Every structure is written in structure tokens, then in C-alpha cells.
Amino acid sequence: MVQTGATGSSIRGLTNGGSRNPNHEKKMEKTVKLWQAIIATIMLIITVGTAIVNQSTKIEGQRLQIEFLQSISRDQAIQIKDINQQFKEINSKLTDILVTLQNKEDRNKR
């Protein structure tokens, strides 16, 4: 029985007579190149995705650091206001004491 078409040996790129089939080799080369391109594209996508995740992580860390520094800045501003208020109170008390002492000294001189 004679078969028209491929036999088992044509799968490896050979015709029935044992010689190479150039069309089959070209198709295989195109298939290999296509798969190489697909794999390269997938690897590129993975690389870009990894870079994006890394940048997102860095940005989130910097955002948290900025929030922390802003919180510290607000706390320091409140502390400075409190210290200024305390300074004003102490200054006022010292002024009162100085005036009182000055008045006593003036009375003693008379």
C-alpha cells in the first residue's frame, strides 16, 4: 500500500527517500523563532512587572517616611508653641517680680 503524504520519518524533516525536506526545516525554524519571540516577550513583561512592583514598594516606603516626618514636624511645632507660651509666662512673672523689687527698693530709699 502506498501512502501519499507524510510518514514517520518526515516528522524529523526527512522525506520518504531519506533526504531532507527544506520546507519542513524552514517551518521548524519559523516555529522556533516564534517561540523564542514569545518567551522573550514574556520575560520582558515579567521584568517590567518586577520593576514596577519594586518602584511601587519604594514609593510606598517614601510616602510613609514623609508622613512620619510631617507628623514629627507637627509635634515639634506644637512643642515650640508650648515652650514659647511657657517662656512668655515666665517672662511675665519675672517682670512682675522685678517691678515688685524695684518698688520695694524705691520705698526703702525714701
Asked whether residue 11 is domain-assigned, the answer is no
Quote the number of domains for the chain: 1
Asked whether residue 69 is domain-assigned, the answer is yes
> What is the C-alpha end-to-end distance of the chain, expressed in Å?
148
pLDDT at residue number 108: 84
The alpha carbon dihedral of 26, 32, 36, 38 has a sign of positive
Across 4-8, 12-16, 29-33, 74-78, which has the greatest mean pLDDT? 74-78
36-95 pLDDT tens trace:
999 999 999 999 999 999 999 999 999 999 999 999 999 999 999 999 999 999 999 999
Asked whether residue 52 is domain-assigned, the answer is yes
Say what the pTM is.
0.51
Asked whether residue 89 is domain-assigned, the answer is yes
- What is the domain range of residue 61? 22-109
Asked whether residue 8 is domain-assigned, the answer is no
